[in-house]
Chain A
Amino acid sequence: MSGANRIAGQGRLTPARTARFTFDGRSYEALEGDTVASALIANGVHLVGRSFKYHRPRGILSAGAEEPNALIDVARDKARRQPNVRATVQEVFDGMIVSSQNRWPSLAFDVGGVNNLLSPLFAAGFYYKTFMWPKAAWDKLYEPVIRHAAGLGVAPTEADPDRYAGRFAFCDVLVVGAGVAGLSAALAAAGTGARVILCDEQPEAGGALHFDGSVTIDGQPGYEWAQATTARLAAMENVTVLSRTTAFGYYNHNFVGLVERVTDHLARPERKLPRERLWQVRARRVILATGSIERHMVFANNDRPGIMLASAARTYLNHFGVAVGRRIGVYTASDSAYEAAFDLKRAGVAIAAIVDNREKPGEAVVAEARKLGIEVLAGHSVVDTKGHRRVSSMKVARNGGGSGRSIAIDALLMSAGWTPSVHLFSQSRGKVAYDAESGRFLPGAYAQDCLSVGSCNGTDALQASIEEGLAAGELMARATGYDGGDKVELRGENAFEWTGGMAGAGEGAGADTTVKAFVDFQNDVCAKDIRLAVREGMHSIEHIKRFTTNGMATDQGKLSNIHGLAIASEVLNREIPKIGLTTFRSPYTPVTFGTLISHSRGDLFDPARKTPMHEWEVAQGALFEDVGNWKRAWYYPRSGETMQDAVNRECRTVRNAAGVFDASTLGKIEVVGPDAAEFLNLMYTNAWDTLKPGRCRYGIMLREDGYVYDDGVVGRIAEDRFHVTTTTGGAPRVMNHMEDYLQTEFPHLRVWLTSTTEQWAVIAVQGPKAREIIEPLVEGIDISNEAFPHMSVREGTVCGVPARLFRMSFTGELGYEINVPADYGQAVWEAVWARAEPLGACAYGTETMHVLRAEKGYIIVGQDTDGTVTPYDAGLAWAVSKKKADFVGIRGLKRPDLVKEGRKQLVGLVTKDPGVVLEEGTQIVADPNEPKPMTMLGHVTSSYWSENCGRSIAMALIAGGQARMGQTLYAPTADRTIAVEVSDMVFIDKNGERLNG
């Protein structure tokens, strides 16, 4: 027998199919289909955890996702360990390792339990009032202690080896919840032919039919009907049924997030299966059939292990075949708890008494109790309990006074009525409305195309739920355009009509009492804490929540919110709706990070972009740097070389012989059309109509506010065709920027834009031997200085491949950039390399490119400019047309602050000691002895050791920089002050003679 409390003949599990698991090191037997909670109760284990603040012993309160107490740590192995799992939801699998949490050294003896004795000190919000002296002690002493005592489970410490999956799905009707109402809705909707997704958080459909053993639907026992109906639905082509799937969030425009738990219940999951799957569903219509959650009663010491919700005890009996005790008390304000007592009594369990705080319980249930010989104490309350690790007695007193008597019990079932689960409705931004008669918040005004049906809509009666579900299913399906199928009819019978329910503190836990009557179990919030919050001026329910932490635990107030509200309402003497309801936030139940990210990890997190020559570069031993999403070759160290060695060699080689550089990452845009030149005139500060076909020009692009946005060389291929290049990182936004203006501001221009970044591989060959290297490879283009001068472009073939050949230079050397279709990139590169290497050239990376361009004072947008720099600041006034009537940025440039004296200007900096290389980012000051905060003139934007200059060189943005030529300034670093001199930015070949080789 899998546990002494398993009752033969009860429940739906198969006795022969067992599984073993351990709890805190001890081995237990369970049945397949058990939750950890049902298996532990079957084995007589009620103490499963400790509370958050007082470390009070806690048991199993519920049989569902609302569980606040029974949180456990579940592991398959060391890396597959999950804290804070609800024992009431986690299915047992063979070999699982379960541990209790938030206790030390053991669950039975927990040192933290001392907090319970000190609890008078630890009233709500006490920490705001103390721990302020001495000042430094908060983060050194108090906070670490508090942090250590708080928290629940222990976070995983190893990378999660499991895999997660995700799907986007579309449907006409999404039905959330497969209880009576949800199944009815799904049946009706599916019958029309509409595409339906039905999801339910439990392993099997049925909802309340799990515990309600008496009802029948169409003559079948309810639970069996639910299974048969689900099977029928699942067999339909237009229906997807998802079990173990929680709808956790309802977002804009009928977008609903679902999480499907695929393998957490399996002992040996197939490797191909993901652990969980995220479904992102866009539904044309949504039907919410999310049911209700039973509330506990609020009375002194209502938290002892063995005290649980009545419906939970009924679930354990009718579904799992487990008796939660042998002599059970019931404390209720609702008829529903009676049925738990009836079922248990019929199964042979003693019912000590039903204590009903109402003077007049429902007649039907009282009559049935009498028939079964169960004592009903109407107008009585349970005012206290005893029992350390499990409840041992309840103290029952007549309402309004009396000393009361103690009744021995080993479990206590309670029900304060049912709270409709309006979480998803509220997340959809529907407005809940308070129904004073039933004391419930129910769906009011809808904000999205959804409907609530069944008990989450306040519809309690069985047949009414069925009919509401059927009507909604049909209506919603028809609203999406489906009208097939016959009308579905269902008949539900044998249901009790429940009455009753209460919210707030019960007898003995009212105002002026100091007993621990728990409202929020996990966070240890008692009725008195709510009252204290009100006393301290917290009158909004949000303040009460935040001050007491009521409803902020992992169950997010599923049990506690309404009680908290009712207690506040009573103290404030204001009606419940006037105090307000806290906002329901997603997720309904916690969702694994891994599931939310699903495939987006590792290589798929943010796929890297690689150039056509990447593999060659890898083979040559290049190191790479990340630039935007690109992997760019950074430098090519040879054996034994440091980075500086390699860069020095590459720099020397390019200027003395030549270098080959992969420039494929530069953004490229083909601008075509009769008005292309006019369009570029508006996009760039330069004039483009004067550029002749076959020539190139360096262009500056501004934002409308006048700051440098991007730059690049633009070649005019033909009258109506330009080859635009952008910075590597800027390509997408420049494209977007151009499209924006073309489509919305200048739609009259006949221009077409095409991003060609990935279509061209670009091989830069730079250096005195550049022409010699490429000459034999080029066909159809005369590349002599005269025929093909600096800043020219021609179309022809290179290595037999159609190419655009640019004569341009970002090094100050004679240079070419060979553009060939990307697929030919590596082949052409290798052909170039076969020419280059014997001539003493090298391949060089971005670091050398940076040094070489800095030697020439060429700027890099994004490094030497930062979004606050105008072309004038950057020394690029020559590139700003004075003749054009308009270009983007023309007005922004003239604003007062952009034209005033003393702006930061880009200049060169040379250190007095040529061997010192400034750190990029170093701030520059005029007076190194000024006390802090010092006046900073600007900062070093680029700084390198220049092997070719034999000294360090730098560029800097300096206030009034142009007027400071030759001035000595200072760069104060952490350990010394470096003297620098303001200089011109061109450090090599000031007359540009090397451009012609």
Chain B
Amino acid sequence: MTRLIMGPFNRVEGDLEVTLDIAQGAVQSAHVNSPMYRGFEQILQGKAPADALVFVPRICGICSVAQSAAAAQALAAAMNLVPPKNGRLAANLTLAAENLADHLTHFYLFFMPDFARAAYQKRAWFADAGPRFRALTGAASNEILPARAAFMRIMSLLAGKWPHTLAVQPGGSSRPLQVSETIRLYRQLREFRGFLERTLFGDTLEAIASLDSCAALETWIDTRPPQASDFRRFLEIARDLDLVRLGRASDTFISYGSYPQAEGEARFSLFPSGVWDGSAHAMNSADIREDVSHAWYAQAETPQHPARGSTVPLLDKPGAYSWCKAPRWQGRVVETGALARQVVAGQPLIRAMVAAGGGNVFSRVVARLIEIARILPEMEAWAGQLEPGEPYCVVGEMPQEADVEGRVEAARGGLGHWLSVRRGRIHAYQIVAPTTWNFSPRDATGTPGALEQALVGAPVEAGEAAPLSVQHIVRSFDPCMVCTVH
């Protein structure tokens, strides 16, 4: 058995170190370490509740709106506020913009450059894909960054700027769009659609979103050449490298639900909440516990619900190896993210892929791209539903005492905030981020977290200092380490 410590593990957001025990050409066990701690939960204690809106987006530069939205929901719950229709639509649009930008960034800048490595130069697709996806110098990056920047102009209309906006408010949005601005917003969405259809998919978004079985996807692949689009290029590579075999975790998926379609009615969300393990279960946040047995924190006797959780650093704790806590749902290791959202939402292709091969490198990446194709048309519709002249924001009184939660879906999965207010100040603020779920360390029963499970069995070639299979698996989760520990 040889031990390999991989770090700094880059093209992920934030700091990550992975320790592998390797034998017989495969990973036998993995330990995932988040090596940085900042202490936002401690920083927030004692502050005015509304100040959370300044601090929590700054947990994460790439999921900042999701953090704002979770805080805004918690504060809204404390004040019994329901945003008006325009406020709800603006919040959906803002969150969706961030989700899409993150999916795009992940695909082009974080995930695909690994296939441009010299190790793959003998593959048939390399002559085309290598120069296209190469890190820093690839042709794709000089197309994608301007397209992404043009798309994110909608943030100047919806949120003033991105990242780190304060436009996402408990009672709606601070940024009322006027008639001409709703037209600009719609035009910018249509421009981005054009880029996606031309460059990413080589097909209409509707055609991609309605792929409804593995057979339909195979037919789609077989009816166009490998260079037809970047999605098609990925599918060629995935088929050749059999990415479907890599990175299977617990095959239990959690989604908090996202994009409410009516005031205060989460159950009418575009993507509903739930847990999927081959059959559907209700997602009740009361079933969540955070285990800190292998994390550098002082611990209570049993894992606590986040509403009763604490964050007290304790270095030199025996057996601990990460700053990441280990959240569990009904004691189980679950995976969250676009794949979980789409499988819970019942997107037929994703359901079929998960039934056939579970969560793996291939299904995670396809789910993200399917989600792009599903969300943008919704954004176009939401832009059309804005009613300039009608209210965007309502306000209320913060009570002296409150115990509330806010849950949203960030690009990377379920994000929860649990807030306690005492004597008008933040008494406790606990955050469980998507990658906290996916990259958790072992729990008290010794059960490894989702990525730790997914890495077991990953093939390692002789002499590989940074095994490619491991890189594909890790990046397939699109981890956000700065959210993970915060």
Tell whether A and B belong to one assembly. Answer: no
Q: Which residues of A are in contact with B by a Cβ distance under 8 Å?
A: none
Q: Which residues of B are in contact with A by a Cβ distance under 8 Å?
A: none
